[in-house]
Amino acid sequence: MSNHSTGAVAAPAGRNYLNHPKGIMTWLITLDHKRIGVMYLFTVLLFFAVGGFFALGIRLELMKLGREILDANTYNRFFTYHGAIMVFLVIIPAIPAAMGNFVLPILLGAKDVAFPRLNLASYYIFIIGATFAVLSLFLRGADGGWTFYTPYSIRTNTTVILVLFGAFIAGFSSILTGLNFIVTIHKLRAPGLTWARLPLFCWAIYATSIIQVLATPVLAITLLLLCMERILHIGIFDPALGGDPVLFQHFFWFYSHPAVYIMILPAMGIISEVIPVFSRKPIFGYKAIAYSSFGIALIAFIVWGHHMFVSGQSELANFVFSLLTMFVAVPTGVKVFSWVATMYKGSIHYYAPMLYALGFLELFTIGGLTGVFLATLAIDVHLTNTYFVVAHFHYVMVGGTIMGMMAGLHYWFPKITGKMYSEKAATIAFWLILIGFNLTFFPQFILGAQGMPRRYWSYLPEFTDLNRLSSVGSWFIALGFLYVAYYVWDAMKHGKNAVANPWGGLTLEWQTSSPPPTENFLETPVVTAWPYEYLPENITMPVNQG
Amino acid sequence: MFSIFNAAHAASTVPMAATDIAVQWDSLYSFIVWLSIFFFVLVVGGMVYFMFKYRHRPGQKTVYFRDSHLLEGIWIGVPTALLMIIFVWGYSVYHSMKQAPSDSYEIHVIGKQWLWTFQYENGRTTVGEVFVPINKPVKLIMTSDDVLHGFFIPNFRIKQDVVPGMYTSIWFMATVPGKHQVFCTEYCGTSHSGMLAQVVVLDDDQWEAWNNNKKLGNIPKAGVEISAADHVADLINDEYSVQPKTSQTSMFSPDSRGSRASSDSEQFKDGILISAASPMKSQFSLVEQGRVVHESKGCVACHTVDGTVKVGPSHKGMFGSRIELTNGKFALADENFIKNHIENPKSETVKGYAQVMPTFKGLISETEMNALIAYMKSLK
């Protein structure tokens, strides 16, 4: 069945990367990409819980107009931390740094990333950045939203500077990880793993890494300028000092728009892996999917102005940015159509990874289509800065990235932990999250179209019903994720041992033991075929045979 | 328990359309909504169909195929064509949103944490409510006294950021009388969600009455029928300086720890210019107020208003003209040009004149600046 010739499947005497060497210190100074990936994963999930806590606070406050549980200033801090933590400490590192670190070298048949020490350094740089951001929580907090628009962010008396500095530092981690991955993909592919045989997850990570390396420095310098303006009162963005507040928006979105694709492309990579495996079919349009990642990455750099249609930017600039933005929809559409076409005449197995991939398709389609509304100039003028935008980017970021992350988490769970999770529990949690998500965010499209602005602590009476519906939905999401935390913990304690290849996948990570040995493969694998070569008879999975 | 479906507003996804542009907006919006529904059904419907049709069964065989250039061509070509239609349509409606007719009635708007102040040609100032005539184009020339704000009128489908240090503008021609909600849409601190206002669209009689400082009856929310009782009761006072009053009082109780950015308070000036926080009517028009500013701030020392040249260029006919600068570039003398020249005179100098003008930054308030600009516009 396998298209790869690998030396040995099992490591001697149950030795694997998790249990050898032992001791907490061996983890903290490890150079093993798998352990670093796992440490990232823990960190990211911890911050996901913190960001989720703030989200629940926001929704609780919005249960009724006026004060429910938070005063306005506390509420403003809540949505700022929710956004900043979720973007900078969860969604950006979640798939590339956490899962990419674990899976990418194995997918390539490599022993590790190209620069293991740099990889560990990236992790600690990330931790230092996160520490600064979290430190501000215990001082005067931060408000202004995760976008930190000037001149508010210069004048607010909150400790916003710590969050900015934290994001500045974490940015270096992102740059170094991107650099590491690019070199790894170029230099450490196994014999026979040609570019045309490269798994789509690797293509997606490659495109992502390019954006990380090229765009993040712009954010770094922008945040640094903002810090300097706050401390030294140099007039760059504050008109009171002779600066231009709109300039900040240009700088900010020059990074933060490409960053949107740092968040979504890796998730798309996971979906491209999961759908063929669980449909037992070759991926449809391999080249188109691979190229479209680069198409998206390229366009990502020239559409930042679509965040600024009402900022005071010129009509000509708006014309150009709206036109260019339309073209993002084309490669994105190519991917979505290709995934659905992959399912056609397949033999589809419904396990948690596939459920999340299908959930991704549903939510991302809505997220993508509502993006067309916002790309359209006149339509955006009414919808921008309302809940329509909030709903849109949650459909893309949560419905896309987080669903993709959950798909990957379940897909690679046997490989990472060597255990099987409970499929029944995972199915229940999936439905809780999917239903809860739609309940939370779909009403926000209507709220936004009706005119409710975002970042509002209170609202007009006519917005009450939909806000309550949205708040109730958030409890379903919370319940779903709490349940995930429980069964993941339970699986690690009591789960049955995973076989090397429970899903019958053809990519290289399934050709080594679960969990893999420290060196990934006991002998260097040799790749002899395309990784999506599922033949018509190959419709079963090991997992449903035992 | 709350009701989701009984409220009429939940059924319609967009607010009332109270301008012609809002009606055009609604057509385009509906078009994209239906197109989205079509593609959603195509993709997710197709997916669900495949989920059932091709679910795993023992003994099944899959069909091996890897791509189809025809299919890929279709799903690149068709969406691209549709997107171009949407783009052109969207731009054309947007273009009408941006092109204010030259005969628009101009109102100056100042955003300040957390209230909106409006200055009119007749010299009046209101806070929290802006009074406009029905079926006449109105242009709002806006700036901020502190941080970014956003001026959003859902019923008109228009929105514009209000930026400190520069002027931005929107225009509309309201077709529905009554009050229309205004929201602030850029985060501006503690009471961001309380920074509301109303556009009060007056019919011809009411507009004339308002311009003559006469009393107006109670003006209802747009689209709401007025009962006879409402007509009799509740005449608003002569000042029209209603603080944004509302039933949801909780929105207007900012925390005492409010993080308001500091800004200079407005000065009283010869009883004409007034604090934004305590608006009043004035017997002097905005142009006359501007003339006082022009004299009292010393502009007249260097700039004449009759076309003769002193130290600096004359202000007669300057507004709206193309001006050559010492760096060889040309600039349009619009609101932003004038404001910038007064606050940062060193940034650009008119050709043929020495760079000797001092900065007036911090010496002229936003309300005075608006009056000055209105005055310069009048010097034709």
Percent of chain A topping pLDDT 70: 97
Nearest Cβ partner for B83 among A158, A329, A465: A329
Q: Which residue has the higher pLDDT, A444 or B224?
A: A444
Which residue type, as a one-letter code, is found at position A139? Answer: L
B339 CB burial (10 A radius; 0-12, 13-18, 19+): buried
Q: Do A449 and B255 touch (CB under 8 A)?
A: no
Chain A residue numbers touching B86 (CB-CB < 8 A): 326, 372, 376
Residue A55 corresponds to which tokens in the numbers above? 């989200």
Rounded to two decimals, the pTM is 0.88
Chain A residue numbers touching B94 (CB-CB < 8 A): 315, 318, 377-378, 381
Average of per-residue pLDDT values in chain B: 81
Chain A residue numbers touching B13 (CB-CB < 8 A): 445-446, 449-450
- Alpha-carbon span B176 to B24, nearest angstrom: 15
Omega before residue B210 within 30° of 0, cis = no
Q: Do B64 and A281 touch (CB under 8 A)?
A: yes
Mean pLDDT, rounded, for B310-339: 88
Q: Do B251 and A330 touch (CB under 8 A)?
A: no
pLDDT tier, A149 (very low <50, low <70, confident <90, very high otherwise) = very high
Chain A residue numbers touching B7 (CB-CB < 8 A): 462, 465
- ipTM confidence score: 0.93
pLDDT at B365: 86
**For residues A48 and A41, is the Cβ–Cβ distance under 8 A?**
no
DSSP secondary structure string, A453-517? BSS-SS--GGGHHHHHHHHHHHHHHHHHHHHHHHHHHHHHHHPPBPPS-TT---SGGGGS-SSPP
Nearest Cβ partner for B159 among A284, A347, A384: A384
pLDDT at A544: 66
Q: Which residue has the higher pLDDT, A123 or B299?
A: A123
Q: Given its phi and psi angles, is residue A14 left (phi above 0), alpha (psi -120 to 50 degrees) or beta?
A: left
Nearest Cβ partner for B255 among A71, A312, A318: A71
Mean pLDDT, rounded, for A350-376: 96
pLDDT digits (tens, 9 = 90+) for A153-186: 888 888 888 998 999 999 999 999 999 999 999 9
Chain B residue numbers touching A454 (CB-CB < 8 A): 185
Contacts of A494 (CB under 8 A, 6+ apart): none
> b/e for A388-412, b at 16 or more Cβ within 10 A?
bbbbbbbbbbbbbbbbbbbbbbbbb
Q: Do B61 and A370 touch (CB under 8 A)?
A: no
Do B15-98 and B298-363 show the same overall fold?
no
Phi then psi dihedrals of residue B162, to 5 deg: -110, 115
Q: Which residue has the higher pLDDT, B45 or A66?
A: B45
Q: Do B187 and A149 touch (CB under 8 A)?
A: yes
Percent of chain B topping pLDDT 90: 47
Q: Do B61 and A539 touch (CB under 8 A)?
A: yes
Instruction: Kindly state the DSSP code that residue A522 receives in the 8-state scheme.
Output: S
- Alpha-carbon span B352 to B311, nearest angstrom: 10
pLDDT digits (tens, 9 = 90+) for A370-416: 999 999 999 999 999 999 999 999 999 999 999 999 999 999 999 99
Question: Is residue A539's pLDDT more than 80?
Answer: yes
pLDDT digits (tens, 9 = 90+) for B85-115: 999 999 999 999 999 999 999 999 999 999 9
The domain defined by B105-251 folds into Immunoglobulin-like (2.60.40)
**For residues A194 and A109, is the Cβ–Cβ distance under 8 A?**
no
Nearest chain A Cα distance for residue B283, angstroms: 32
Nearest chain B Cα distance for residue A397, angstroms: 18
Which residue type, as a one-letter code, is found at position B28? Answer: L
Nearest chain A Cα distance for residue B78, angstroms: 10
Nearest Cβ partner for A465 among B3, B46, B72: B3
The sign one gets for the Cα dihedral A115, A121, A123, A129 is: negative
Nearest Cβ partner for A280 among B28, B62, B254: B62
Nearest chain B Cα distance for residue A332, angstroms: 10
Chain B residue numbers touching A283 (CB-CB < 8 A): 66
Nearest chain B Cα distance for residue A128, angstroms: 29
Chain A residue numbers touching B51 (CB-CB < 8 A): 343, 348, 358
Q: Do B186 and A239 touch (CB under 8 A)?
A: no
Nearest chain A Cα distance for residue B28, angstroms: 8
Nearest Cβ partner for A315 among B29, B98, B250: B98
Contacts of B261 (CB under 8 A, 6+ apart): A151, A152, A155, A156, B113, B146, B147, B189
Phi then psi dihedrals of residue A85, to 5 deg: -70, -45
Q: How far is CA B156 from CA A385, B16, B225, B254, in A?
A: 16, 8, 20, 28
Q: What is the CATH number of domain B15-98?
A: 1.10.287.90
- Alpha-carbon span A339 to A404, nearest angstrom: 13
Nearest chain A Cα distance for residue B197, angstroms: 12
Q: Do A143 and B189 touch (CB under 8 A)?
A: yes
Tell me the HSE value of A250 on the side-chain side, using a 13 A CA sphere. 12
Omega before residue A21 within 30° of 0, cis = yes
Chain A residue numbers touching B191 (CB-CB < 8 A): 72
Query: Residue ranges of the domains in chain B?
Result: 15-98, 105-251, 298-363
pLDDT tier, B252 (very low <50, low <70, confident <90, very high otherwise) = very low
Which residue, among B1, B41, B43, would best test binding to A if mutated, counting the most A CBs under 10 Å from its CB? B43
- Tell me the domains of chain A and their CATH numbers: 4-544 (1.20.210.10)
Q: Do B13 and A449 touch (CB under 8 A)?
A: yes
Nearest chain A Cα distance for residue B213, angstroms: 31
Q: How far is CA B333 from CA B68, B144, B267, B322, in A?
A: 58, 20, 27, 6
Q: Decide yes or no: CATH 1.10.760.10 for domain B298-363.
A: yes
Radius of gyration of chain B (CA): 27
Percent of chain B topping pLDDT 70: 81
pLDDT digits (tens, 9 = 90+) for A455-506: 999 999 999 999 999 999 999 999 999 999 999 999 999 999 999 999 999 9
- Alpha-carbon span A273 to A353, nearest angstrom: 10
Nearest chain B Cα distance for residue A19, angstroms: 37
pLDDT tier, A140 (very low <50, low <70, confident <90, very high otherwise) = confident
Angle, helices B69-98 vs A352-375, to 10°: value is 40
Chain A with chain B: Cβ pairs closer than 8 A: 306
* Residue B331: its H or E element: strand B330-332
- Alpha-carbon span A163 to A449, nearest angstrom: 32
pLDDT tier, B282 (very low <50, low <70, confident <90, very high otherwise) = low
